Structure 1
Amino acid sequence: MRFSLSRPLLCSTALLAVLMSPVSRCAAAPAAHNPAGAPSSAARQLHQLADAFYRARAHFDPLLITANGDSRFNGELGLSISPANRSRQFALYRRMQTRLKAIARTRLGEADQLNYALLAFELDSGLSLEAFPEHLLPLNHFDNVPGTLANYASGTGSQPLHTVAQYQDYLNRLNQLPAWIDQAIANMRQGVKRGIVQPKAITVAMLPQFQQLRSATPEANIFYTPIRNLPAAFSQADKERLTAAYRKTIATRLAPALERLAVYLEKDYLPASRASDGWHALPNGAAWYQAQIKDRTTVSMNPEQIHQLGLKEVARIQEQWALLGPRLGYSGAPAALPQWVEAQDKFKTFKTEAEVLDAYRRIDDKLKTRLPALFSLLPKAPLQLQLEPELTRATASDHYTPAAADGSHPGVFWAVVNDPRQYSRTGMVTLYLHEGQPGHHFHAGLLKELDVPDFRKFNTENPNIGAFTEGWALYAETLGHEFGLYDDPEAYFGHLNDELLRAVRLVVDTGMHAKGWTREQAIAYARDTLGYSEARAKNQIERYMVWPAQALSYKIGALKILELRERARTAMGDKFSLPQFHEVVIGAGTLPLPLLEARVDRWIASAK
């Protein structure tokens, strides 16, 4: 029995107006009669406002736009952590809300009805955390601007480095980084005064990253990597000009700023970091965490409801251990199966990183022959497999970065391999279904192909739609059954254990941020429940410490998609088609869960 999210879904006031108006739950109102086929005045106003919103967001947070696959803003870094810039952005969003409400929604066609609803959602979501000073926590070990730019230095990530213009864009960002660093230091000083600081364990975890960004000479700095990799096709003049410019920026501006940051973190911020671990310990922390839950999941659930859901899911999944253990050669207590698997060398057969990547390529080759049976929509963008860069490998999780819409770089599945000899085969299939295809790569790739406004097209990395993006990717893991990949008990164990991880996240995230759990308590629960090593459990828990509520989106989103699939199967009977269901779910791009549910319900109704 799968849990049904039967509680009312939460969405913005503006979005509720769209959903609950006489135009039934996001169904389109009749479009105004327009014999010439030209856009109505309302449609033109909506498109202009949508474009203005996207440009404002792009200039405010251009790194997010780069991560979403739009390379047009790759020369900008932005200063979204500036209090003045934040105030201006929120004021702009409020004016846009007023403009949106003035548009005659009933005169919009079906496609623009959805654009209207999604723009209302985005504006409300953008304003939902205005009251909470997240800019006073500008750095953590898991996600920070200097580290992101350092990872881009290889030119193999979301910001490619193949042309002179791309080199100049990256240099422009490096020239803007010192101002960002100084603003971050100023924000952290203010945070110390207000008691809004990172836990001491997080500061300890991020210190090595920023110490590694320092170097004895400009040439030894990681940000000099593009010059070490200058394409042979560049002219000699361009090579000399770029080399001199990069060296000067690093020596005179960037290196001193990185030194200031490392010294401040070690000498001032570490002693001021807090002994508590959860968000509840911050000023107004309980309300802040609840707001983050609403933003990340789009459902109306409080921390205790989510905590109990997590415990229920943990118990459900653990019941499968009794059946699966003997197939793996295990005869002990069912609850201890993950610990036993973790200790077995027979599941760890790799000797090199290359062998790990080759194993993922074999999984990909097998999937390519089976995907068309379950999907009528296949993305055109290619997918690559790469290793996580060394700078962030120790603290990173396996992840995906979307392909660029202009084709300048493919989608990339980043595998985190710290020690290939300790890399278990058991989790590889389910991980690839999630991060690769048909998980994140299908959603992100198909989104780029849609004829939709930019604020929708470039919208795969935003945390406020994680319940869809991560929910879809976790749902994609369950398709290993249909693909026949879980006939292998090793792969099926990996799937169940990763599903168990997502259930554990509901428990530990709410435990730390709402129920007073310590970091050590959360690590022990993850270690004992999942069979993780101390280091692996620590890596997971410290991610949740700095990114509250994001980890809740996986399970909540996947449960909703599974619920909708069963609803459609029951209602449609012989008319139900799994490929068509998948097209309904991901064929319109990223949707908050209320809009996704409405879309599936319309599909069911149309079949009747």
Structure 2
Amino acid sequence: MKHRIKLRAAGALTAALLLAFGPAAHAAPPAAHKATGKVAADVSAAESKKFLALADEYYDAIARFEPVYATDNGDNRFDDQIGLAIAPAERARQFARYRDYTRRLAAIDRHKLTHRDRINLDVLAFELKTLLSYEPYPGHLLPVSQMDSLPVTLANFASGEASQPLTTVKQYRAYLNRLTQLPAWIDQAIVNMREGMRTGVTQPKAIMVSALPQFRKLVSTTPEQSIYYTPVNRMPAGFAAADKASLGADYRAAVAKLQPALARLAAFIENEYIPACRTSTGFSDVPNGRAWYAVRVAESTTTNLTPEAIHEIGLKEVARIQAEFAKLGPQLGYDGPAAGLPVWVSQQPRFFPFKTEDEVQAVYRKLDGVLDEKLPAMFTLLPKAKLDLRLEPELSRDTASDHYTAPAADGSRPGVFWSVVTDPAKYGSTGMTTLFLHEGKPGHHFHIALMQELGLPNFRKFGGNTAFTEGWALYAETLGREMRLFDDPAQYFGHLNDELLRATRLVVDTGMHAKGWTRERTIQYMKDTLGYDAVARSETERYMAWPGQALAYKIGALKIMELRQRAQEALGEKFSLPAFHEQVLGDGTLPLRLLEAKIDGWIAQQRVP
């Protein structure tokens, strides 16, 4: 998936968790805090105001530091900036800010805050601890990969269909301003990569070979042929003639200045960087890579699980799912070994019925309507924002996966499920239901769109952590069984197969980055386990580019399923699935340990006679 969650959460505040999420967390406040007079109330209001001002200052510093990620997460206030977060001096200033916020946060008296603001404070403390844990590691020396680069992100914005809107003259000027800043970013990226070449902090060669075609595509011979010029060709008819002429001239000039920088970047990657990149696979092969990977694992999972423990969890989950395959195979007409079921399905023409992109989209539109009827029985907390269904822009189709992007905070743009259809004839039908439950609703849309409607501070509205975000979406897939969407054995296979991918990720990500697995061994394991060659390569290279990120999905989902089972066993007939879902989603994205403390408190409260 491609929506960007850059704010992180990891660490431990055990006493704070008990205070914020203990059994009485949702009960009425104690009498001592109920009516102690105007002075106490004023002190409490002042403390809340002090905290919320700090929280807003913190988020604005994050958004200004990486404004493109703010755009991706639905905050369009900084759409005219790209920032220079990869500049060492700016990076140092940002870490100094994090230390200052940590000091000021410690001075807040959390006992004087509301219940919701205690939660906000604990989440902010988690985030700051995690952000500061990255300070020793030079991530700015790895500014581009096949998965993530600012030039490609801005190119995808050029259509106006992604996170950056292009419907008004002001919005056109904002995007134009970003284009004028991009050459400086590119030159800084090249400086950084040269420093990485000198110090041994480079990307793996294999993923940069995969990335190179993207950067070549960005280079054009004339401004008018550039993807960044696309907005000029799509100007709304309602723009005044003078605005059209002015914007056309300014875009032409900006793109003309941008093209030499794009050419420099493509040439540098091809002629200098790729030859100097490391031939190893795992992150442990860069300086301090093992410790750096441990930080990434802690960020991704918001747990204290070690890579070794996660590897074992992955192996057990792979075995469990393959046992399900053994039961399911005969229902599909397959009588071979369970591990061979994915390969067999991939060879059956009946599971690849599409001839056009529109046929693919029609299936998703029908499923969207079915879910509109079924989901209200499972959820009392529903986002107001609509969900739109669109095709991935052509530039990024070769490397993108189907994904979701957040709605605009002001309601001007819906949430979007992007389907990536490079060749309709190769778009398998078996995984479509589980995919939409994950990327659409009730997965990312119910969670991320709702985040913007809960009245949370901006750092939470536009932030989050991957373990909750992806864990919720993977858990949402499992609800397909209860809605009888997997009664069709082919669709149930698709669900299990996607679940198998998430379990396999636990094995191969830790295998590569903590246990010395090579790219080739990883690809072979994925082929043997999953059965699809092309995905084995692209997924392996994704994990090489984003060490630890893929661990969040399964670890998060397993925790939410564990908490649901705990609640069902404890509450028996008193258990309500809509109420449980409201507890999981109702306070926004939480680190898993905070979520567990919250659910335990809710269970205790529900058990009180």
TM-score bucket of the superposed structures, by smaller chain: over 0.9
Identity of aligned residues (%): 58
Question: In 2, distance between residues paired with 1:492 and 1:23?
Answer: 36
Question: Which residue of structure 1 lines up, in the alignment, with residue 505 of structure 2?
Answer: 505
Deviates more, 1:116-125 or 1:221-230: 116-125
1:435 aligns with 2:439: yes
Distance 2:409 2:289 in 1: 39
CA distance in 2, matches of 1:91, 1:255: 35
The DSSP-based 3-state class of the residue aligned with 2:59 is helix
- Measured after TM superposition, the shift of residue 277 of structure 1 is 0.9
Q: Partner residue of 1:234?
A: 239
In the alignment, which residue of structure 1 is the partner of 2:405? 401
* Superposed displacement of residue 408, structure 1: 2.0
Matched residue of 1:446: which SS?
Answer: helix
SS at match of 1:487: coil
Preserved CA contact (<8 Å) 1:62 1:73:
yes
* Offset, 1:387: 1.2
Q: Counterpart in 2 of 1:19?
A: 17
* Deviation of the 1:34 alpha carbon: 6.3
Cα pair 2:434 2:480 within 8 Å, conserved: yes
Deviations 1:192-231 (A, max 9, x none): 0000111111110111000000001000000000000011
Equivalent of 2:331 in 305, 310, 327:
327
CA contact (8 A) 1:61 1:78 kept: yes
Contact 1:18 1:26 in 2 (8 A): no
User: Which position in structure 1 is the counterpart of 2:315?
Assistant: 311
Aligned partner letter, 1:516: G
Equivalent of residue 353 in structure 2, options 349, 360, 365: 349
1:219 equivalent in structure 2: 224
Bigger CA drift: 36-45 or 441-450? Answer: 36-45
Contact 2:468 2:590 in 1 (8 A): yes
Cα distance, 1:556 vs structure 2: 0.3
Name the residue aligned to 1:7. Answer: none
Is the 8 Å Cα contact of residues 18 and 25 (structure 1) preserved in structure 2? no
Runs of 4+ in 1 over 6 A off after TM superposition: none
2:164 pairs, out of 142, 159, 162, with 159
Q: Is 1:124 aligned to residue 122 of structure 2?
A: no
- Residue matched to 2:111: 106
User: What residue number does 1:171 align with?
Assistant: 176
Q: Does the 8 Å CA contact 2:307/2:514 hold for their aligned counterparts?
A: yes
Residue 17 of structure 1: CA displacement? 4.5
- 3-state secondary structure, aligned to 2:486: helix
Q: Does 1:582 align with 2:581?
A: yes
Q: 2:195 corresponds to which letter in structure 1? A: Q
**Structure 1 residues 34, 353: closer, same or farther in 2, change over 3 A?**
farther
SS at match of 1:413: strand
| Cα distance change, pair 185–334 in 1 and its aligned pair in 2 (3 A) | same
Say if 2:314 and 2:505, in contact at 8 Å, map to a contact too.
yes
Shift of 1:149: 0.4
| Aligned position for 2:281 | 277
Partner letter of residue 261 of structure 1? L
CA contact (8 A) 1:32 1:40 kept: no
Counterpart residue number, 1:197: 202
1:431-466, CA deviations, whole angstroms, 9 ceiling, x for partnerless residues?
Answer: 000000000000011111111111111125xxxx11
Q: CA contact under 8 A between 2:158 and 2:228: conserved in structure 1?
A: yes
Partner SS state of residue 53, structure 1 = helix
Distance 1:197 1:215 in 2: 27
Q: Distance in 1 between matches of 2:266 and 2:167?
A: 31
- AA matched with 2:531: G
**Cα deviations across residues 99-152 of structure 1 (Å, max 9, x unaligned)?**
111111111121111111111112112111111111100000111111100000
* Aligned with residue 302 of structure 1, among 296, 299, 306: 306
Structure 1 contact 26–114 (Cα < 8 Å) conserved: no
Give the distance between the partners of 2:508 and 2:23, measured in 1 at CA: 35
| Deviation by residue 1:250-273 (Cα, 9 ceiling, x = unmatched) | 11x211110110111111101101
* Cα distance in structure 1, aligned partners of 2:165 and 2:135: 33
1-structure distance, mates of 2:281, 2:523: 12
- CA-to-aligned-CA distance 1:369-393 (integer Å, 9 cap, x gap): 1011111111111111111111111
Q: Confirm or deny: 8 A CA contact 1:151 1:157 kept in the other structure.
A: yes
Counterpart Cα distance in 1 of 2:418 and 2:24: 37
CA distance in 2, matches of 1:172, 1:519: 40
31-40 or 328-337: which moved more?
Answer: 31-40
Q: Give 5+ residue unaligned stretches, structure 1.
A: 1-9
Q: Is the 8 A contact 1:386 1:415 kept in 2?
A: yes
| Mapping 1:73-152, distance limit 5 Å | 73-152=78-157
CA contact (8 A) 2:74 2:407 kept: yes
State how far apart, in whole Å, the 1-side matches of 2:418 and 2:606 are: 40
C-alpha separation between the residues in 2 aligned to 1:222 and 1:16?
50
Distance in 2 between residues matched to 1:593 and 1:27, nearest whole Å? 17
Aligned mates of 1:32, 1:203 — CA distance in 2: 60
Q: Which residue of 2 aligns with 1:58?
A: 63
What are the Cα deviations for residues 272-312 of structure 1, in whole angstroms up to 9, with x where unaligned?
01110110111111111011000111111111111111000
| 2:493 partner amino acid | F
Is 1:566 paired with 2:568? no
The answer as to whether partners of 1:136 and 1:187 remain within 8 angstroms in 2 is yes
Q: Distance in 2 between matches of 1:397 and 1:485?
A: 23
Amino acid at match of 1:74: D
Aligned to 1:5: none
Cα 1:33–1:107 change in 2 (3 A) is farther
CA distance in 1, matches of 2:55, 2:276: 43
Change (3 A) 1:577 1:330: same
Residue 5 of structure 2 corresponds to none
What amino acid is aligned across from residue 485 of structure 1 in structure 2? Answer: L
Moved more, 429-438 or 327-336: 327-336
What secondary structure, in the 3-state scheme, does the structure 2 residue paired with 1:139 have?
coil
Q: Secondary structure at the match of 2:77?
A: helix
8 Å Cα contact 1:470/1:554 also seen in 2 = yes
Query: How far apart are residue 40 of structure 1 and its match?
Result: 2.2
Check conservation: 2:23, 2:600, Cα contact below 8 A. no
Structure 2 counterparts to residues 531-550 of structure 1, below 5 A: 531-532=531-532, 534-550=533-549
- Paired AA for residue 473 in structure 1: A
Distance 2:127 2:108 in 1: 16
How many residues matched? 592
One-letter amino acid matched to 2:14:
L
Offset at 1:23?
8.5
**Distance (Å, rounded) in 1 between the aligned partners of 2:273 and 2:283:** 18
Distance 1:34 1:73 in 2: 43
- SS of corresponding position for 1:400: strand
1:522–1:598 CA distance, 2 compared to 1 (3 A):
same
**Partner Cα distance (2:523, 2:36) in 1:** 61
State the SS of the aligned residue for 2:235: coil
- Which SS does the other structure have where 2:390 is aligned? strand
Question: 1:6: which partner in 2?
Answer: none
Task: State the partner residue of 2:472.
Answer: 472
SS in 2 for 1:369: helix
* Stretch moving more, 431-440 or 118-127: 118-127
1:37-91 Cα shifts (integer Å, max 9, x gaps): 6552211110110010011001001111111111111111111111111100000
2-structure distance, mates of 1:22, 1:153? 44
Q: Name which of 247, 254, 269 aligns with 2:252.
A: 247
Q: Is the 8 A contact 1:76 1:172 kept in 2?
A: yes
**Unpaired stretches in structure 2, ≥5 consecutive residues:** 1-8
Q: Contact (CA 8 Å) 1:214, 1:221: kept in 2 or not?
A: yes
Q: Secondary structure, in 3 states, of the residue corresponding to 1:260?
A: helix
Q: CA RMSD in A?
A: 1.5
Q: Against the structure 1 CA distance between its residues 82 and 339, is the aligned structure 2 distance closer, same or farther, given a 3 Å change threshold?
A: same
1:26–1:342 CA distance, 2 compared to 1 (3 A): farther
Q: What amino acid is aligned across from residue 329 of structure 2 in structure 1?
A: G
Q: Offset at 1:178?
A: 0.7
2:488 corresponds to 1:488: yes
1:604 has 2:603 as partner: yes
Matched position secondary structure for 1:146: helix
Letter in 2 for 1:520: E
Matched residues in 2 for 1:245 and 1:369: separation?
A: 49
